[in-house]
Structure 1
Amino acid sequence: MTGSVGDAEDMVQDAFLGLARARQAGTTIAAPKAYLTTAVTRLGINYMGSARVRREMYVGDWLPEPVVVPADGSGPAEHVELTDSLSMAFLVLLEALSPVERAVFVLREVFGYGYPDVAMMTGKTEVNCRQIFARARQRIAAERQVTADPPPPRLRAEGEELARRFFEAAAGGDMAALLSMLAPDVVFHGDGGGKVQVFGKLLAGRERVTRLLVGVFRRSLALSISLQPAWVNGRPGAVRYDAQGRVVSVLELDVVDGVIQAIRSVSNPDKLGHLGPVSDIGLL
């Protein structure tokens, strides 16, 4: 709903506080899960109303805050499962929906709630929710280029191997190897939020993206920036750290049919704080 780890955590905390206050006031909560999900959904709808205004004023390409899981898949199983369902590309597509459309679509498509539950959580009728979902699904399908489904184990392993070779080639300045791993129409999205210098909205084309990557990694080597493979929003990627172990940026790779179709880099320091201390180097 939010594209923001910190704001999502705040809403969850607010929902639990609301539950605690209701119980203290003597209210009987027969279904705590339904109560909390409804509270978070409605908080999310209110949040999106104000967030849309902020994003209209956002400097450069907007990407959601990265959710990072170690490359070995360690961590809570539900955490890994959820991030598999929320790639950056999918979250960006959801930005095209209104707050209520987004809530209905996420509850129904991602979490599998029935229409009676969706209606209760959003304050709409079942008939209205069916119409909203059909409209939202149609809008998403018209623009969708990647699915929200997690890659099967075989493709996941292939994606990890391709990511490993890709980062090695970028670090070594091997342009021929990079060109072979990128789709002809590959795009690079960079989110610096106006705080880290990046180019315009996006960079497209295999040769242009390759030149950018070689330049970025050459500068990284000079600044002793290291790279740690990770799964980013359910896709292969990496976290980059400076010499002091502070986060510089997070990269996510969209792998389709054995080649990289899109690269997304989040370097806006406001979106990296949940991962640890953030570097002040200001690299893409």
Structure 2
Amino acid sequence: MNDESEPDAEQISRQLFSIAYRMLGSASDAEDLVQEAHERLLRASAAGTVIESKPAFLTTITTRLAIDYLRSARVRRESYVGTWLPEPVLTDPDPSERAAMSDSLSLSFLVLLETLSPVERAVFLLREVFAYPYDEIAEIVDKSEENCRQVLSRARNRISDGRPRFEVSSQERDLLTARFQAAAEDGEVDALVELLAADAVFQGDGGGKARAVAAPVFGGQQVARLLVGFFRRYASLGARMEPTQVNGQPGLLAFDADGHLINVLAFDISEGVIQTVRSIINPDKLAHLGYPLSDIARIDRPDSQA
């Protein structure tokens, strides 16, 4: 590939971040990996290394760095306090922009990828999400094409049943989220139950840094009562909720009375109801969003919860 046919630097960086973020489930770590890949490109060029395609070089380095990172992170993930959820990213609210890759960006999908080994994850993403040809995938992960096909087959089988499917339109999802917010703020448990799947799940991620529900809560009735309690407490503290798009799906940002971010709520909506509510309140996973962070839920405040 010659320079004239290659994408510009901004396009390359966006693609690299898209791969790294889906690999790691961490926006901040993905940014670090992309930066490291660019630095390695500069060092290689300065050393006189002939690089036929900068995008190919950068994709290979980024993917291999992500694989290495995941291997070293396995122990940290296993010792994580409470439920581990990916770092949220706020995405374009434009439905036309959201539709293209939102399913592969959803928190549900990123959580599901945790069931794959690092190499399986790389092969699956490069082929299924980014449509790389097998010969390029083989070079990136340093395996034969046949081996990559086998890896992909295993990965598909492992996650096929759990892969999220968001059939409803973006407008329907946004409307359902607005109804959810209104019912939760008004303390209407019965109205919330109607918006939640019978087997709805609530997950909270505090990571030992902020107070969160220690284990998932199951059942529409139980989740509704939990959420009404949270919203009631937030209202007593002068907090407000702002609709947003989280990883291509509807969500809410919770701000305290000073406009500092408390947590991010993200929703999985399917078959006309909310299937999963995820609350990410670990400050380490919110810092990259660019908002000043609240201390309301800080772990050393005995009156905090999230």
TM-score, normalization: structure 2?
0.86
Residue in 1 that maps onto 2:84: 62
**DSSP 3-state at the match of 2:24:** coil
CA–CA distance in structure 1, aligned partners of residues 126 and 217 of structure 2: 33
* Pick aligned residue for 1:199 from 210, 213, 235: 213
CA contact (8 A) 2:92 2:248 kept: no
CA–CA distance in structure 2, aligned partners of residues 4 and 237 of structure 1: 18
Structure 1 stretches of 4+ moved >6 Å: none
* 1:72–1:224 distance in 2 versus 1, CA, 3 Å: farther
Residue in 1 that maps onto 2:120: 101
Paired residue total: 276
Q: Which amino acid aligns with 2:37?
A: A
> Which digits, 9 at most, give the CA deviation of each residue in 1:64-119, with x for residues without a partner?
00011264569xx5x88555521111111110111111111111111111110100
Q: Which amino acid aligns with 2:39?
A: L
Q: Which amino acid aligns with 1:10?
A: D
RMSD: 1.7
CA–CA distance in structure 2, aligned partners of residues 53 and 83 of structure 1: 29
CA–CA distance in structure 1, aligned partners of residues 223 and 26 of structure 2: 27
Pairing of 1:1-284 with structure 2 (within 5 A): 1-69=23-91, 71=93, 81-142=100-161, 144-147=162-165, 151=166, 155-275=169-289, 276-282=291-297, 283-284=305-306
**DSSP 3-state at the match of 2:250:** strand
Counting aligned pairs with the same residue, the percent is 51
Structure 2 residue runs of 5 or longer lacking an equivalent are 1-22, 298-304
CA contact (8 A) 2:103 2:164 kept: no
CA contact (8 A) 2:103 2:109 kept: no
CA contact (8 A) 1:69 1:80 kept: no
TM-score, normalization: structure 1?
0.93
Q: Which amino acid aligns with 2:293?
A: V
User: Greater relative contact order: 1 or 2 (C-alpha under 8 angstroms, separation 6 or more)?
Assistant: 1
* 1:216–1:70 distance in 2 versus 1, CA, 3 Å: farther
CA contact (8 A) 2:112 2:163 kept: no
**DSSP 3-state at the match of 1:240:** strand
Q: Which amino acid aligns with 1:131?
A: Q
